[in-house]
Amino acid sequence: MRSRLLGLGAAVLVALSPAVPTASAAPATPSTTRAPSDFVALSDVDPTILQEIRYFTPHNFTGDPVDGYRAPMCILTREAAEGLHRAQLQFLLQGYSLKVYDCYRPQRAVNDFVAWAKRLDDQRMKAEFYTGVDKSNLFRDGYIAEQSGHSRGSTMDLTLVRLPARPTPPYVRGQRLVDCTAPQAKRFGDNSIDMGTGFDCFNTLAWPLDSRVQGQQLRNRVLLLNGLVQQGFAPYPYEWWHFTYKPERFPNIYFDFPVARSSLRR
């Protein structure tokens, strides 16, 4: 176990090292309707990767479908999608599948998050996603920001599901919410393997290297992290589910075309 923990720490340090931008990453004015040809639907690259696009649904920290998500689909730069495909091939051999919660995120969705964070009276989803955080501190604590790496197209939120995958129960508006840090058997019935918290959990327990995460939960995080780092993905030190393919195709551009098949060029 000690050697695996050391490997995890080394992977985080290496993966977070600065990357050299590609030649095609010059700043440009992004379209608000169509994606550049570099973007693809993940399902066209690897249809075996599961998709549960939470922001298309009301089951997210805002309590409503998020602006800009017109279809429950994952869009990424081609390099990022191909990296996930390579990782998926290895995970399938071990009896797991990747599942994405979010991929490319338009700037209008980020603006929607910002507007929600300023509505301090809207606490509908607090009992699941941010029980220990004062909503007035979401900007200060870094949970909400005015720009997101997701809008550049090479960042995604994802987990692992043991095969054969059991279905995730549907979320019903108004159902009783359970703290995202609760034991897996009590929180929302996501079919993910146990990572110690649910997705989008605004809590330090979601940090990949939080010392309170031990045993099988830690081994699951190590499995996900090592499999992705080997294929060129860098983890984010404050969310176990968040990874970015490096080097990014568009390191300086925040796109705003909607998440929809019609945004992609044929």
Specify the 3-state DSSP secondary structure of 55.
helix
Rounded-to-5 percentages of helix, strand, coil across the chain: 30, 15, 55
Q: 4 — phi, psi (to 5°)?
A: -70, -35
Residue 146 annotated among the catalytic residues of the structure: no
CB contact at 8 A, 97 and 165: yes
Specify the 3-state DSSP secondary structure of 52.
coil
Choosing from 52, 79, 82, 239, the catalytic residue is: 239
DSSP strand pairing (75-77 vs 50-51) = unpaired
The tokens describing 90, both together, are 């290895």
Specify the 3-state DSSP secondary structure of 176.
coil
Q: How far apart are CA 127 and CA 132, in angstroms?
A: 9
The tokens describing 204, both together, are 């330090």
Q: Fill in the DSSP letter of residue 192.
A: B
Catalytic sites, residue numbers = 239
